[in-house]
Amino acid sequence: MEKWIYELIVEKVPPFSFLDRENAVLFQLLIMLIAGLLISYLANLPPISAVMGALAIFVVVLWSRLTLVLAPMIRTFRPSLSEKEKEVVENYRKLLFSKYRPEFIIGAGFFIPLTFHLFSNGVVFEHYLRSNRYVIFFALILVWDIAYRAGIGFWVCLMNLTRSWKLLIASKQRKSMDYTFLNDLKTMHRIDRNSLLFGSAGFLLLPVVSIDTTLVAGVMLYSITLIGLSFLSILIIRRVPWLPPDMVDLLTTAKFAYIGLTGSKYPHLTPVVQVFDGHDLFFVTSRKSVKFRLMKKNPRIAVLIDERDERDFFRNRAIMIYGYVRIYDSWHIVLHLIKLLRVLRLFRTKYGLYLRKYGERKEMLPDAWRLTPIMKRVPVEVIPEKVVYWRGARRIRIRL
């Protein structure tokens, strides 16, 4: 598979090739800072030039680091068990690392008009470099580094959004046991989060270009565009189910789940009502319950959801999820408010009559059973690490 030009430099050009990727980036930062300070001193530039030059170098190195983080993550995807989704992911990787170097072309597309503007406007060169032609030559190398990495960031964010959208469409055409691996979807989510950082880092250039309103507008537009593309990609990729349609249907329609926890003396097994939003499984529990105390002590959990057909054994279905819990307690609720409001809506839709009856008889219930959200009952998310599916007499291990 092709690699970005910067990756090849780090891997093949000494002294970077002698170092691991993280140290190569730190070494790049050191070299560029020393060179920038030396040039600033020899050219007798004002102190602000050295400060702003160091800030621009820091952005270049930060983008370099993010580039070296993103590339290996993109190469880790496994072939999906859905042919259409497999094709989407393969095309995504081929486009990102195309032999036609789209990130280089986009970087040149940023560099050429940017250079033309810097020379025609002259404000930046005069303010920081005093129009010293030799210093301007070295400054243009830094401008190219910024433009090239900005090209990588834009291309990655654009491809991320395209990948997420096409993957969501393909997921709606799955057959019974087609799916894309959960860990691959999580990796896509991490790539999108890193792309958000890529866009956010662009704002660090604002102090450098603050003397030129055109450049300020350009930096703002670039960063906001990358953040917007990444945010949309995150929203879309979260809607792609990580389980086959058969299992999504069972998790969505089943009224009860049975959860197993490590007890102080015996295993603790109890039924709960649950909802599944296509991506995450949730139940609620009282702060005074045994479940809550056990989960606080040991977050490991097993969840069984089954559907039984008394007339035909081979129509039975069941899912066993092994993993750990995330308890949305105190300030976690504020951080994940939108997600939890969606979960609340799912509970009200699925168990409307059940909740209404509980509300009418609230005073008759034990204190631990009363459905007072947040204060007495907290939402719990199940984070899967292993999934087993039974369909009839067949046991199917779901790879994550």
Residue among 382, 223, 196 nearest 302 (CA): 382
Q: What is the pLDDT of residues 198-225, one digit of tens each?
A: 999 999 999 999 999 999 999 999 999 9
Neighbouring CB atoms inside 10 A of 210's CB total 12
Summary mean pLDDT of the chain: 84
Domain end (from 209, 237, 265): 237
Residues 262 and 364 in one domain: yes
Residues 46 and 173 in one domain: yes
Residues 294 and 232 in one domain: no
Q: What is the pLDDT of residues 147-194, one digit of tens each?
A: 999 999 999 999 999 999 999 999 888 887 888 888 888 899 999 999
Number of domains in the chain: 2
| pLDDT over threshold 60, residue 371 | no
Residues 84 and 226 in one domain: yes
Residues 9 and 80 in one domain: yes
CA distance 12 to 22: 15
Domain end (from 198, 213, 237): 237
Structural domain of 169: 5-237
Q: Specify the pTM.
A: 0.83
Q: What is the mean pLDDT of residues 22-42?
A: 78
Residues 231 and 250 in one domain: no
Check which CATH number belongs to the domain holding 281 and give it: 2.30.110.10
Residues 138 and 256 in one domain: no
Residues 164 and 52 in one domain: yes
Residues 222 and 300 in one domain: no
Residues 359 and 384 in one domain: yes
Q: Given this model, what pLDDT does residue 374 score?
A: 45
Domain end (from 188, 209, 237): 237
